[in-house]
Amino acid sequence: MTRQRRTAEPYKIKAVEPIRMTSREEREEAIRKAGFNTFLLDSKDVYIDLLTDSGTSAMSDNQWAGMMLGDEAYAGSRNFHNLWDAVTNIYGFKYMVPTHQGRGAEHLISQILIRPGDYVPGNMYFTTTREHQERAGGTFVDVVIDEAHDSQNLHPFKGNVDLVKLEDLIRRVGPDRIPYVSIAVTVNMAGGQPVSMANLRAVRELCDRYVRSDGRPVRIMFDATRCVENAYFIQQREEGYSGRSLRDILREMMSYGDGCTMSGKKDCLVNIGGFLCTNEFEVYQEATQLVVVFEGMPSYGGLAGRDMEAMARGIYEMVDDDYMAFRVSQVQYLGSQLIEAGVPVVRPVGGHAVFLDARAFLDHIPQSEYPAQTLAAALYVDSGVRGMERGNVSAGRDKEGKERFPKLELVRLTIPRRVYTNNHMDVVADSVIALHAQRETLGGLKMVYEPPQLRFFTSRFEPIRREGFWEFVKG
């Protein structure tokens, strides 16, 4: 048998940031202080931080060099033009307005296009996206394929839009009540699952068949946050794309939409930044009016010149085929170790994170006792690895105030871009596997503080029973 050849990180390390090892006692103390919410832990107490891939990327030497070329003029900074060129070149949209991060762009587009009583179909909700849609008076309607809600279904494009669900909605409420279809590439809440090119094309065709009374077909706005990871899956899995560059594939994907919101903190490889794109001049003009109120001048949108320069350079780096192949393979590397050890994870493993299926992992804990929150807290105590809850806590409450009890109850282990080596992934795998072996000792949590919106960020918990794994929690 021939031995399989391995590849390594396609970069070498020029600067290092030491991380601190902690003792079990220190971590027990830290999780109690944080109210068993990993969002409330101090970074100094975390060994391997997989809370998010948002704003946690390592920048390249080229990006750092660009930071020194920040033109901090109040208006018309040179870096704005560089960002404009990078975005219009790589994404292919006509107009761009920078924002401080993705939700800034979501806010603008929601206020511009959504009217009270409108419906916004989307391939599964995302927390900030839905919040902005609902604040503008819209109702989010989930039109993702059913497979996305099944953590074990091996569909290669689980982020696809269900065309029947979408068309039913358009027919039921009429195209005038649909300001746009919101398509996330990839779908974060389903586990980083991609959308196929064929599906994007089909959604475009469907939308083109429904013309609004203003003469426009129903719009498609991408949540392009992880669009290059999506392009990578198309390159790997979809017929006809294996020989094509990510840059090419991304351009084709975006050509089916009318604009996008972007969190630069993900695929664009920066620590802060975002933007809104549109092909419509009127929408662009309204965005420039609103951005001055909420973010800053249309030529900086809440960003420093140096931030825009770093993002412009990151945009060219994100479409590098070798970089992206390694980025996604590192996520797969962690995922396959867990799958081989029999740990229940969302499959197929997505592009930015491995999602532990907490309902299957802790099948003795009812969803009202927050199994994913429990597992995330326990993982931190076990090894100092910080993940995050994506389940009942994140889903929040509906308009009647009832908990949503989503089908997926997950712990997300998100891999920052270019930050950790595969040795770090081994440490994570060892800890999850060890915890899986002692899962019966884990009891659920109760919520003792709950903020009214986006509760997962700041809510606090306590173990219901101070025994087994939680024995250390005293009086």
Ligand X SMILES: *Cc1c(COP(=O)(O)O)cnc(C)c1O
Considering only the stretches 124-132, 244-252, 329-337, 429-437, report the one whose residues sit in contact with ligand X under the rule CB under 6 A: 124-132
Q: How far apart are the first and last CA of the chain?
A: 59
Instruction: Check residue 129 for interaction with ligand X (CB under 6 A).
Output: yes
The catalytic residue among 125, 126, 140, 370 is 126
Tell whether residue 98 is a contact of ligand X (CB under 6 A).
no
Per CB under 6 A, 265 contacts ligand X: yes
For residue 102, the minimal CB distance to ligand X (Å) is 2
Q: Give backbone dihedrals phi and psi of 361, rounded to 5 degrees, phi first.
A: -60, -45
Taking the C-alpha atoms of residue 100 and residue 472, their distance in angstroms, rounded to an integer, is 42
Is 238 among the residues that bind ligand X (CB under 6 A)? Answer: no
| 472, 28 Cβ separation under 8 angstroms | yes
Among 131, 223, 258, 267, binds ligand X (CB under 6 A): 223
- Please choose, out of 98-106, 174-182, 248-256, 296-304, the segment that lies near ligand X by the rule CB under 6 A: 98-106
Active site residue 461: no
What are 132's strand-pairing partners? none
Strand partners, 139: 119
Q: How far apart are CA 347 and CA 158, in angstroms?
A: 10
Nearest residue to ligand X, using CB? 102
Q: Active-site residue 126, yes or no?
A: yes
Tell me which of 56, 127, 261, 278 is the catalytic residue: 127
Q: Does the protein bind ligand X through residue 311 (CB under 6 A)?
A: no
Binding to ligand X by CB under 6 A, coded x per residue (else -) over 130-169, reads ----------------------------------------
Cβ proximity to ligand X: between 102 and 463 the closer is 102
For ligand X, the closer CB: 54 or 330: 54
Smaller CB distance to ligand X: residue 350 or 384?
350
101 binds ligand X (CB under 6 A): yes
Query: Which residue in the list 323, 370, 456, 469 is annotated as catalytic?
Result: 456
Other residues' Cβ atoms within 10 Å of the Cβ of residue 12: 6
Which is the catalytic residue, given 11, 74, 281, 449?
A: 74
223 counts as catalytic? yes
Which residue number, 387 or 463, has a Cβ lying nearer to ligand X? 387
Catalytic residue among 118, 162, 223, 307: 223
**Nearer to ligand X by C-beta: 225 or 459?**
225
Select from 22, 54, 77, 431 the one that contacts ligand X (CB under 6 A).
54
Q: Does 394 bind ligand X (CB under 6 A)?
A: no
Interacting stretch for ligand X, rule CB under 6 A, among 21-29, 96-104, 247-255, 319-327? Answer: 96-104
As measured in angstroms, the least distance from the Cβ of 126 to ligand X is 4
Backbone angles phi, psi at 430, to 5 degrees: -60, -45
**403 Cβ partners below 8 Å, 6+ apart?**
368, 392, 395, 396, 397
Binding mask of the shown chain, residues 439 to 458, with x at each position contacting ligand X by CB under 6 A:
--------------------
Residue 188 in the binding site for ligand X (CB under 6 A): yes
Does residue 263 touch ligand X according to CB under 6 A?
yes
Residues 6+ apart with CB under 8 A from 395: 403, 404, 405, 406
Single-letter amino acid, residue 88: T
Smallest CA-to-CA distance from 127 within 257, 50, 39 is with: 39
Answer yes or no: 266 catalytic.
yes
Q: Does 225 bind ligand X (CB under 6 A)?
A: yes
Pick the binder of ligand X from 37, 60, 128, 299 (CB under 6 A): 128
Q: Mark the segment that binds ligand X (CB under 6 A) among 62-70, 95-103, 162-170, 425-433.
A: 95-103
230, 322, 470, 474 from 352: Cα distances, Å: 10, 16, 30, 37
Residue 387 CB, nearest approach to ligand X (Å) = 15
Residues forming the active site = 74, 126-127, 223, 266, 390, 456
Q: Which residue ranges make up the site for ligand X (CB under 6 A)?
A: 54, 101-103, 126, 128-129, 184, 188, 223, 225, 263, 265-266, 274
